[in-house]
Amino acid sequence: MFWRPCKLRRSPPKPAVPEGTYYEYDDESAIKPGAIVLHPKFGRGRVVRVEGLGEDMRLDVDFASVGPKRLIAKYAHLTVVSG
């Protein structure tokens, strides 16, 4: 029995920054402390702190199911339930 080296298949490189943003809301001002949001994995939560603007916006959200999380707003897939 002889072993032959196999050719490795490489997947195309992923872009360093994903295309587009993932906001589920039209107005950044909807995300403010006290706002109730929904996250696809963590469920319902309350925004505790907002830091930065636009592409650099970071959020501290306290989720009922998993506790506090720090999220980058443009990747969080949040839906604002109430402000």
Q: What is the pTM of this model?
A: 0.66
**Rounded Cα–Cα distance for residues 20 and 25 (Å):** 14
- Between β-strands 79-82 and 67-72, what pairing exists: parallel, antiparallel or unpaired? unpaired
What domains does the chain contain, in order, with CATH numbers? 28-82 (2.40.10.170)
- Tens of pLDDT along 26-38? 556 678 999 999 9
- Tens of pLDDT along 60-75? 999 999 999 999 998 9
**Rounded Cα–Cα distance for residues 8 and 60 (Å):** 42
